[in-house]
Amino acid sequence: MPGFRLIAPVICLFSLVFGSGCDTRQGVCTQLPDPVFGAARPKPRPQPLRPQPVVQAPVRTVGFRDIPAAWYPPGAERRWRAIVIHHSADENGGAQRYDQAHRNRGWDELGYHFIIGNGSDTGNGVVEVGSRWRKQKHGAHCKTPDNFYNEYGIGICLVGNFENHPPSEAQLASLRKLLLFLMNRYDLGAGQIYGHGEVGRTACPGRQMPLSNLRHWAGTQTQIWAGSR
C-alpha cells in the first residue's frame, strides 16, 4: 500500500453568505448562478521562510485504494479551495439526467463536478465525473454574492432527498473516498467541507446528511495516499 502523509485541517477564512440553490420541493438546482465577483481580498503579509522538521506520520490503514483514473484531471488544474456537498432532492437521477435538466433551464452543462448515484439511474454509490471536472471549469451549484463557492468550490451531489432519509452506506463510503482524494490533492482540510445550506439559503443537502460526522471523520484522517499528485 502507498505511504501516507500528514495534512492539517485548514480553517476556511471566507464568510458564509446567502445564495440560491437546491430546492427540496423541485429537485436539482433551479437557477444558474451569475458570475458575481467580490472585492479584491487583501494579500497576506509575507512570512520569513524557516526550515521545517521532517515528521514521519504513523502508519495507519484507512482502507481506500485504487483511485479511478477519471478522478484525475487530464490537464491544468484549478486552484480549488472548498468542497460543497449537495443532495438532488429527488429519488431518481444521475449525471446524464441532471445534465439534460440543467440544459433545459438554459445552463451550459451539468452544474456539479461529481454525482454519486443511489441505484436509480446508476449503481448505488457509483461516482460519476461531470464534464466540468474534466475541463477544470468553475461550478454552477452554489451561488453567493462573491461567487466564491462556484469559482473555487468542488460541487458533489448525492442522489436522494435527505430531508426524508439519510444517504445509503454505499453513497457515504464513496463520498468519504472522494473527499480524501480531493483533500489530499488540493491541500484541503475538514474545515473546508461544507453543506450547501451552510453557505447559502437552502435546505440542501437535507437534515439527514451527516455533515458533522463527515467533517469529524475527515479531521481524523491524518494519512492519505502518497504520490496521488
Integer-rounded Cα radius of gyration of the chain = 18
Question: Taking CA 165 as the corner, what is the angle to CA 161 and CA 171, rounded to the nearest 5 degrees?
Answer: 75
- pLDDT tens digits, one per residue of 141-182: 999 999 999 999 999 999 999 999 999 999 999 999 999 999
pLDDT tens by residue, 28-50: 544 434 433 343 444 444 444 33
Largest CA distance in the chain: 54
Are 18 and 202 spatial neighbours (Cβ–Cβ below 8 Å)? no
Alpha helices, DSSP H, located in the chain: 95-104, 131-135, 148-151, 169-185, 196-199, 211-220
Alpha-carbon separation of residue 63 from 59, 116, 125, 187, 217 (angstroms)? 12, 19, 16, 20, 14
pLDDT at 66: 85
Closest by CA to 152, choosing from 104, 205, 194, is 194
Low-confidence ranges of the chain (pLDDT < 50): 1-21, 23-25, 29-63, 225-229
Contacts of 225 (CB under 8 A, 6+ apart): 2, 4, 64, 65, 67, 180, 181, 184
Look at residue 107 in the predicted model and tell me its pLDDT. 87
**What does the pLDDT read at residue 8?**
39
Q: How far apart are CA 100 and CA 139, in angstroms?
A: 16
State residue 7's pLDDT score.
37
**pLDDT score recorded for residue 221:** 83
pLDDT on residue 38: 40
| CATH architecture assigned to 19-27+78-229 | 3-Layer(aba) Sandwich (3.40)
Question: What pLDDT score was predicted for residue 225?
Answer: 47
